[in-house]
């Protein structure tokens, strides 16, 4: 049987990292067995519908490289022979199933008002019993018509045991079963009903979703049984936990939307790598995985049962790793939107030289302006960087001036301005001045960049160029003379 998995988001808001993991795992399972990955939009909750949310889902999946085989392609087109892939467009399918259930005595129109249900609840509470709809089934329910809520009439009340591909053997007692609404008063199905019909009609073999659905699983199993449908493989993936404490990750804990991470210069490769490992490992020490490797190695039985802690520092670390792994031209192309305004008018060749020496310090592409700005524009001198520097603050002003003058002279005398020759000259400077590298190199570095970090000094000088470097050092020299 061909493996068919699905990602079934509800377009109810921004797509956060937890949602994306619910797309990644089924994607991996489908791809590793040469199966199909289906995208279905669960848009039956009209009250929670957010305009633009679906577009964001499509965009995010594409950015991550999680291409789907069937589902919406854009707002007006779909692809695949099991469509429609929007639940609101499948309304008649649900209504047909519902009518069949009514005919077979498996569903009844719910006749009660909110006040009546409230009275039942209070009664149950007074008797110290849990409130269950199935204890209040109407004796003569009205004939069901669209516009009335329709409830599943759970035919057999029993204990259910089942196997979850992640959680293992599970079971729940009779109290987990109740008559739940399958069609709402607005004529649309509930999630509880729609997903079961859809997964069946779409030939889904694996349901991989968040663990918030474990508690309802016995209800789903009783519906599958009533409809004579073999349930798909069930895999409930544990929650992503907040960095601190044992609660589910929420917006307040920094659970940003994937779009925000993207805008902050996180690479899709790093995001995929990070999410795959939130709750899964292959049992080795390997930390960096390409999507291909994940397709090869991922397995549901190595997904952990307990919640995985969200650690943004790890995402940043992985992103740095991925920045270093990308092919240079590819990295350069992806950096385009991130250069600072100083770099706007610079030539491509120069920007590539700069990127070539700063990229290995970047954690996100958004660090680029900070890491590269001084290559494009002379920064204002900031003498405090000298007066508070651990090494330089111990040195007399006159000596600093002398050292800088010697350095400028020496650098000016270089025949051919390249990394090797600059390094030779810097080494000679050490010998001649008898100063430590921490003194002489830092002095030059600060006077050249006025930045808190920069790549190796010889590389930085090489890229900034002879004329510009000498010019900058002279400007700094004047400032030290006049103002330090
Ligand atoms: N629409 C549901 C959600 O977004 C899907 C759950 C499922 O995968 O069945 O939570």
Q: How far is CA 342 from CA 332, 373, 455, in A?
A: 17, 6, 19
- Contact predicate 60/259, CB 8 Å: yes
- Contact predicate 309/244, CB 8 Å: no
Q: Are residues 286 and 393 in the same domain?
A: no
Identify the domain boundary among 341, 357, 376.
Answer: 376
Count of domains for the chain: 4
Identify the CATH number of the domain in which residue 258 sits: 3.40.50.620
Active site residues per annotation? 251
Domain containing residue 341: 326-376
Q: Are residues 216 and 250 in the same domain?
A: no
At residue 287 the predicted structure's pLDDT band, cuts being 50, 70 and 90, is very high
Q: For 6-30, give the DSSP string.
A: EE----SS--BHHHHHHHHHHHHHH
Look at ligand 1, atom 3, and give the residue with the nearest C-alpha. Answer: 9
- Note whether residue 171 is domain-resident: yes
pLDDT tens sequence across 317-354: 999 999 999 999 999 999 999 999 999 999 999 999 99
Cβ of residue 10 lying under 6 Å from some atom of ligand 1? yes
Cβ of residue 21 lying under 6 Å from some atom of ligand 1? no
Instruction: Give the chain's mean pLDDT.
Output: 95
- Note whether residue 314 is domain-resident: no
Return the structure tokens found at 69: 């085989």
Please state the rounded mean pLDDT for residues 20-29: 96
- Contact predicate 133/180, CB 8 Å: yes
pLDDT tens sequence across 364-381: 999 999 999 999 999 999
pLDDT tens sequence across 218-264: 999 999 999 999 999 999 999 898 888 678 887 677 678 899 999 99
pLDDT tens sequence across 55-69: 999 999 999 999 999
Output the pLDDT for position 194.
Answer: 98
CA-based angle 245:249:252, to the nearest 5?
95
Cβ of residue 232 lying under 6 Å from some atom of ligand 1? no
Q: Are residues 214 and 154 in the same domain?
A: yes
Quote the CA–CA distance of 216 and 412 in Å, as a whole number: 76
At residue 126 the predicted structure's pLDDT band, cuts being 50, 70 and 90, is very high
In this predicted structure, the answer to whether residue 165 has a pLDDT above a threshold of 70 is yes
Identify the CATH number of the domain in which residue 422 sits: 1.10.10.350
Q: Are residues 230 and 113 in the same domain?
A: yes
Instruction: Please state at what angle helix 17-32 crosses helix 268-276, rounded to 10 degrees.
Output: 80
In this predicted structure, the answer to whether residue 433 has a pLDDT above a threshold of 70 is yes
Quote the CA–CA distance of 393 and 387 in Å, as a whole number: 5
| 290 Cα: distance to centroid of ligand 1 (angstroms) | 26
Q: Are residues 137 and 233 in the same domain?
A: yes
Q: Are residues 99 and 215 in the same domain?
A: yes
Return the beta strands (E) in 123-167 as ranges.
150-152, 160-164
CA dihedral 390→392→395→397, nearest 10 degrees, is -140
Please state the rounded mean pLDDT for residues 128-139: 96
Report the atom number in ligand 1 closest to the C-alpha of 9. 4
- Note whether residue 319 is domain-resident: no
pTM of the model: 0.92
Please state the rounded mean pLDDT for residues 449-468: 97
- Note whether residue 346 is domain-resident: yes
Q: Are residues 228 and 93 in the same domain?
A: yes
Cβ of residue 195 lying under 6 Å from some atom of ligand 1? yes
Output the pLDDT for position 254.
Answer: 67
Of 12, 50, 195, the one to substitute when testing ligand 1's pocket (max ligand atoms within 8 A of C-beta) is 195
| 371 Cα: distance to centroid of ligand 1 (angstroms) | 42
Q: Are residues 224 and 154 in the same domain?
A: yes
Residues contributing to the annotated binding site for ATP: 251
Q: Are residues 253 and 232 in the same domain?
A: no
Cβ of residue 42 lying under 6 Å from some atom of ligand 1? yes
Q: Are residues 397 and 367 in the same domain?
A: no
Question: Where does residue 464 rank: exposed (0-12), middle (13-18), buried (19+ CB within 10 A)?
Answer: buried
- Note whether residue 315 is domain-resident: no
Q: For 159-215, give the DSSP string.
A: -EEEEETTTEEEEE-GGG----EEE-TTSPBPHHHHHHHHHHHTT--EEEEEGGGTT
Strand 150-152 relative to strand 107-109: parallel, antiparallel, unpaired?
A: antiparallel
Output the pLDDT for position 19.
Answer: 87
In this predicted structure, the answer to whether residue 430 has a pLDDT above a threshold of 80 is yes
Q: Are residues 114 and 73 in the same domain?
A: no
Output the pLDDT for position 18.
Answer: 83
Q: Are residues 76 and 113 in the same domain?
A: no
């Amino acid at each position: 049987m061909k493996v068919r998995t699905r990602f079934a988001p509800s377009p109810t808001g921004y797509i956060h990292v937890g949602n994306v993991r619910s797309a990644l795992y089924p994607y991996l399972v489908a791809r590793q067995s040469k199966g199909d990955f289906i995208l279905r939009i669960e848009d039956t909750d009209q009250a929670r519908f957010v305009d633009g949310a679906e577009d964001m889902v499509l965009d995010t999946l594409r950015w991550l490289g999680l291409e789907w085989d069937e589902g919406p392609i854009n707002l007006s087109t779909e692809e695949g022979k099991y469509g429609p892939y929007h639940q609101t467009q499948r309304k008649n399918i649900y209504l047909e199933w519902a009518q069949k259930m009514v005919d077979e005595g498996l569903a009844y129109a719910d006749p009660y008002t909110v006040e009546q249900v409230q009275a039942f609840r209070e009664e149950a509470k007074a008797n110290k019993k849990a409130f269950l709809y199935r204890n209040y089934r109407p004796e003569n329910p009205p004939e069901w018509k669209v516009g009335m809520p329709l409830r599943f009439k759970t035919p057999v009340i029993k204990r259910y045991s089942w196997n979850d591909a992640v959680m293992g053997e599970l079971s729940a007692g009779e109290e987990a079963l109740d008559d739940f609404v399958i069609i709402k008063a607005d004529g649309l199905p509930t999630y509880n009903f729609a997903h079961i019909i859809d997964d069946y009609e779409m030939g889904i073999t694996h349901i991989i979703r968040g663990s918030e659905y474990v508690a309802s699983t016995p209800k789903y199993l009783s519906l599958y049984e009533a409809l004579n449908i073999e349930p798909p493989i069930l895999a409930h993936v544990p929650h992503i936990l907040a960095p601190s404490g044992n609660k589910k990750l929420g917006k307040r804990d920094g659970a940003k939307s994937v779009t925000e991470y993207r805008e902050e210069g996180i690479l899709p490769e790093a995001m995929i790598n990070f999410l795959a490992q939130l709750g899964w490992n292959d049992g080795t020490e390997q930390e960096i995985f390409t999507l291909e490797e994940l397709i090869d190695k991922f397995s549901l039985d190595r997904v952990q049962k307990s919640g995985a802690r969200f650690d943004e520092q790890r995402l940043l670390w992985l992103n740095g790793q991925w920045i270093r792994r990308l092919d240079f031209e590819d990295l350069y192309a992806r950096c385009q939107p991130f250069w600072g305004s100083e770099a706007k008018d610079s030539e491509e060749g120069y920007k590539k030289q700069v990127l070539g020496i700063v990229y290995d310090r970047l954690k996100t592409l958004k660090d680029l302006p900070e890491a590269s700005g001084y290559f494009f524009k002379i920064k204002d001198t900031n003498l405090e960087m000298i007066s508070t520097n651990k090494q330089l603050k111990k040195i007399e002003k006159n000596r600093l001036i002398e050292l800088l003058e010697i350095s400028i002279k020496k650098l000016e005398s270089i025949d051919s301005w390249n990394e090797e020759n600059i390094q030779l000259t810097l080494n000679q400077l050490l010998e001649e001045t008898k100063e430590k590298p921490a003194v002489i190199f830092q002095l030059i570095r600060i006077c050249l960049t006025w930045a808190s970090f920069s790549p190796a000094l010889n590389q930085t000088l090489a890229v900034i160029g002879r004329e510009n470097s000498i010019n900058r050092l002279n400007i700094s020299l004047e400032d030290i003379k006049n103002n330090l």
